[in-house]
């Protein structure tokens, strides 16, 4: 197969952490061509999506004494090729969020790939429909008590009723802008004004889950089925558990309740073409559904001795041409 990956500039990626690199490595090891491009190199010509692609050759990372070690250099680029993306067997949209104008326009361009010929992972329409905070709201039996509002009065009523809450901007990533907000906070007005841009932008406010002190579980789903998980723990100086905020990771198991949540989501994810997804679960509650560039494969493989990226590519081999 010929596989294209839309990524951030490759020299900015961390081969020991980034799931995109793990997927590209697995594809190469399993005998497939790996091509890369960036969102700003996408085009529509003659009503088809085109891109400037470069074939890439990777030196796979090695697990040495419990940590991933990369060669230097760890990749080699071939010459550039301007081609229709439907010449690829699959295209992975792996640009990191936030979903800003550039990201949104890239998904519009990807709409012009003939998906009878080429599978786009994840489906561009599905990405647009699945704000990573808001998407979870349709699964009411799985989420903590939640509101979405830009209205200071509505937010205050909720916070006062719950006592301790978590405020989340709808468009950020990696824990950016998430705040712990409790009743009686003297900074309440300023926090809400800054987060909502003076009432112009809605935010999510959720009941604080005390189980967060025991970690925030990331579960990777492939075509609706869980294939691996890790637990993220805060650094101790920050209530957030995200790896990007200094959190550590630990091995974990998928509980019966978490399997129930995965089953609840599975059919909707498939309907929306959301094939490679990372969900976040705290204390048996679904808090986010990550569809843009979910990560965690490197950490799960290191902790559990798995090869999740290989599972993804092998699944793609099985369905190739049958979507």
The tens-digit pLDDT sequence of the chain (323 residues) is 999 999 999 999 999 999 999 999 999 999 999 999 999 999 999 999 999 999 999 999 999 999 999 999 999 999 899 999 999 999 999 999 989 999 999 999 999 999 899 999 999 999 999 999 999 999 999 999 999 999 999 999 999 999 999 999 998 776 788 999 999 899 999 999 999 999 999 999 999 999 999 999 999 999 999 999 999 997 655 554 555 555 789 999 999 999 999 999 999 999 999 999 999 999 999 999 999 999 999 999 999 999 999 999 999 999 987 76
The helix (run of H) or strand (run of E) holding residue 257 is helix 256-271
Domain borders along the chain are 1-121, 144-207, 210-290
Contact between 220 and 296 (Cβ < 8 Å) = yes
Angle, to 10 degrees, between the axis of helix 308-319 and the axis of helix 297-304? 120
Residue 29: Cβ within 10 Å count = 14
The CATH fold assigned to 1-121 is Rossmann fold (3.40.50)
Give the active site residues. Answer: 133, 168, 218, 232, 240, 280, 288, 290
How many angstroms separate the CA atoms of 38 and 41, rounded? 5
pLDDT digits (tens, 9 = 90+) for 190-210: 999 999 999 999 999 999 999
Contacts of 35 (CB under 8 A, 6+ apart): 2, 3, 4, 5, 53, 54, 55, 56, 81, 88
Which class would CATH give 210-290?
A: alpha beta
How many angstroms separate the CA atoms of 89 and 203, rounded? 39
How many angstroms separate the CA atoms of 103 and 95, rounded? 8
How many angstroms separate the CA atoms of 86 and 104, rounded? 20
Q: Is the preceding omega at residue 245 within 30 degrees of 0, hence cis?
A: no
- Which superfamily does 144-207 belong to? ATP-grasp fold, A domain (3.30.1490.20)
- For β-strands 33-37 and 48-58, DSSP reports them as antiparallel
pLDDT digits (tens, 9 = 90+) for 133-155: 999 999 999 999 999 999 999 99
CA atoms 51, 57, 60, 61: torsion sign: negative
């Amino acid at each position: 197969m010929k596989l294209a990956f839309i990524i951030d500039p490759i020299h900015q990626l961390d081969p020991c952490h980034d799931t995109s690199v793990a997927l590209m490595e697995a594809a190469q090891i399993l005998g497939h061509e790996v091509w890369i491009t960036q969102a700003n190199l996408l085009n529509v010509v003659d009503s088809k999506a085109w891109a400037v692609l470069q074939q890439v050759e990777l030196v796979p990372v090695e697990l040495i004494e419990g940590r991933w070690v990369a060669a230097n250099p760890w990749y080699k680029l071939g010459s550039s090729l301007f081609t229709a993306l439907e010449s690829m067997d699959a295209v992975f949209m792996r640009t990191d969020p936030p979903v800003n104008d550039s990201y949104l326009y890239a998904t519009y361009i990807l709409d012009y790939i003939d998906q009878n010929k080429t599978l786009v992972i994840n489906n561009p329409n599905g990405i647009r429909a699945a704000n990573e905070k808001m998407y979870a709201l349709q699964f009411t039996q799985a989420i903590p008590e939640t509101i979405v509002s830009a209205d200071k009065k509505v937010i205050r009523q909720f916070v006062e009723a719950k006592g301790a809450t978590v405020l989340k901007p709808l468009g950020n990533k990696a824990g950016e802008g998430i705040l712990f907000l409790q009743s009686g906070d003297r900074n309440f007005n300023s926090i809400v004004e800054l987060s909502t841009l003076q009432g112009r932008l809605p935010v999510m406010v959720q009941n604080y889950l005390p189980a967060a002190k025991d970690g925030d579980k990331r579960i990777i789903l492939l075509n609706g089925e869980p294939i691996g998980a890790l637990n993220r723990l805060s650094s101790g100086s920050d209530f957030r558990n995200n790896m990007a905020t200094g959190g550590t990771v630990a091995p974990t198991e998928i509980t019966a309740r978490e399997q129930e949540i995965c089953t609840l989501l599975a059919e909707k994810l498939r309907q929306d073409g959301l094939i490679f997804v990372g969900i976040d679960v705290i204390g048996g509650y679904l808090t986010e559904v990550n569809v843009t560039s979910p990560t965690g494969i490197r950490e799960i493989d290191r902790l559990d001795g798995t090869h999740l990226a290989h599972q993804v590519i092998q699944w793609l081999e099985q369905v190739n041409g049958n979507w």
